[in-house]
Amino acid sequence: MIERARSRDARGWRCKFAVVAPSTNTIVQPDFDDLRIPGVTNHSGRIHVPNLPLRNDEEFLALVDILGRELYAAVDRCMTCKPDYLIMGLSALMFWDGRAASERRMRDLAEHCGVGVSAGSFACEAALNLFGAKRIAVISPYQPVSDRNVTRFFEDCGFSVATFRGLRCASPVAIAEVQEDELRRHILALDGDDIDAIVQVGTNLSMVRLAIEMQERLGKPVIAINSATYWHALRAMGITDRFAGHGPLFEHH
């Protein structure tokens, strides 16, 4: 079934997505374009972020501060194309200080731009609930201060974070340089009979294809944040297409 067009855009006749991501992020844009379906278009805006060193918590906090200060300028640039919906192509900021604080942040952002918003934190929550997962393992590219915030968010949502693997990537750009073989080893190390699902956070970590492979291999949900976020945005817009090759999330209404 094809939904009523929400705009008259020649290419985005079903939906125009605005996507904001850090300027250092080279993964989320091609991931979202791979997930795009006919009648839906993605329109990216960049949050200016220098490629800072991320060797410790203090340096990571500096990055989060920059993201918070620069976010709305990038959103405002995106809104000039009159998108139907906004997708957050960054994750750390949307986990910060737990679920209640992140929900306020999302609500303020939606009120500011006048359209609905999807972010990876809430998308992962929705995906985990869809699969009925309770006890999870998490893989992250970040420093310990961010891992604590990610853990807090998921625990606020009612999940038990049994194991956590933080990769401590040395810079924002270095996150995209982590290869599938390394991620595969980490996922296998995180897995166990007591784990219901494995979740990957960090939108500049390339794990969409690997998550599908590992879900089939392990027989349990392996959720890549970029897949979950795009799925969440499509469903929020009432687009319920099921399509093969993109993992079980996209086979659910």
**Residue bearing tokens 């595969």:** 184
Average pLDDT of the segment spanning 81-95: 95
8 Å CB contact between 111 and 136: no
3-state SS, residue 158: coil
| Listed residue (75, 87, 97) closest to 155, CA to CA | 97
pTM given for the model: 0.94
Q: What is the rounded CA–CA span in Å between residue 189 and residue 60?
A: 25
Q: What is the rounded CA–CA span in Å between residue 21 and residue 76?
A: 13
Q: How distant is the alpha carbon of residue 214 from its chain centre?
A: 18
State the pLDDT at residue 243: 75
In order of start, what are the domains of the chain with their CATH numbers? 15-120+228-251 (3.40.50.12500), 122-225 (3.40.50.12500)
State the pLDDT at residue 5: 46
Q: What are phi and psi of 75, to 5 degrees?
A: -60, -45
Q: What is the rounded CA–CA span in Å between residue 111 and residue 190?
A: 39
| Listed residue (214, 209, 223, 44) closest to 120, CA to CA | 223
pLDDT digits (tens, 9 = 90+) for 105-114: 999 999 999 9
Q: What is the rounded CA–CA span in Å between residue 48 and residue 200?
A: 24
Task: Tell me the pLDDT band of 253, cut-offs 50, 70 and 90.
Answer: low
pLDDT digits (tens, 9 = 90+) for 119-175: 999 999 999 999 999 999 999 999 999 999 999 999 999 999 999 999 999 999 999
Average pLDDT of the segment spanning 168-197: 97
| Helical ranges in the chain per DSSP H | 28-35, 57-79, 98-113, 120-131, 144-156, 172-175, 180-190, 208-218, 225-236
State the pLDDT at residue 164: 97
C-alpha angle 43/140/232, rounded to 5°?
A: 40
